[in-house]
Structure 1
């Protein structure tokens, strides 16, 4: 291995460490606790080293969002692949989405709530974000109805799930009724 290859590997390892540490800190204490000073202390590198990877917290949030979008896409595809019929696939998609939001609230916020400097719904949207949307659309296209644009249907279905996820987490919707909400979304929106 050349010196250049070793330096590139070490740089990639440091970048993964920064993202993992930011994510861990955000999940434990919230995004307000994630500062470049605190990250530098936790990873045991100086702030200039951290800034050589990311221009600041916004880019770190963006990196966490991209990582989280990849994980969400994988989780949705895994859950929907094993379902046996369209209703079961849509229900699995919805349940997986809400479980991801509840289990990884800081990552979910990085993807959907915080400014990570990432463009959404544009030509230059990063692939992990496009793929997360595609993972939803792959299942939802089959239940969108003949006269409904699949992308628009996916946006509406996703918006409903996002509303449930965020309102439940904020204590504005009682969590014990989540399954009933999911059943309503599937029954009312999906053409089964």
Structure 2
């Protein structure tokens, strides 16, 4: 392998190590605990090495979020395969519940990622595509809007549940009602 390829491969491996370490720290201690000092200690590189890969903590969190969107897309696709809209809703809410720090990086923390406009990363487009396909039979020409509405409703549920702001014993009823509101048959005559 030529020297330049070895250098590029080593750089990619360091970047991956930094992202994995940030995610691990965030899941264990929360994002407030993820500092460049702690991260540098964990990966056994200096802080300047971290900054040679990522310009700041927001860039690191954005890289973690991109991993999350790839994983979310897999979970959503499997959920749809199991039970269409209800499966998608259950998969989304389970993902948020099981990966709180990752979910925070994806949707709550400040991010360099662009959503809905501009140059949207492929993993975000892939996750949204699952929503688009799932709601399309009920959208009556407003597929993107209905997908955004469904996604934002699930995000609201996930966020309120994480903050223990909703009655846990009403979870199933809330999800069922939301799915039924979205899955209203359209008249395409």
The two structures have a TM-score, normalised by structure 2, of 0.94
| Unaligned 5+ runs, structure 1 | none
Residue of structure 1 in register with 2:70 after alignment? 70
After the TM superposition, which residues 17-166 of structure 1 pair with which residues of structure 2 at under 5 Å, given as runs?
17-81=17-81, 83=82, 88-144=83-139, 146=140, 148-166=141-159
Residue of structure 2 in register with 1:185 after alignment? 178
| RMSD, aligned CA | 1.1
SS in structure 2 at match of 1:167: helix
Report the count of equivalent residues: 185
Does the 8 A contact of 2:135 with 2:147 survive in 1?
yes
Does the 8 A contact of 1:60 with 1:116 survive in 2?
no
CA–CA distance in structure 2, aligned partners of residues 122 and 33 of structure 1: 31
- 1:32 positional shift: 0.4
Residue of structure 2 in register with 1:13 after alignment? 13
SS in structure 2 at match of 1:52: helix
SS in structure 1 at match of 2:165: coil
- 1:134 positional shift: 1.1
CA–CA distance in structure 1, aligned partners of residues 29 and 114 of structure 2: 27
CA–CA distance in structure 1, aligned partners of residues 126 and 181 of structure 2: 26
Does the 8 A contact of 2:132 with 2:144 survive in 1?
yes
1:15-50 deviations in whole A, cap 9, x for unaligned? 111001100111111110001111000000011111
CA–CA distance in structure 1, aligned partners of residues 14 and 169 of structure 2: 42
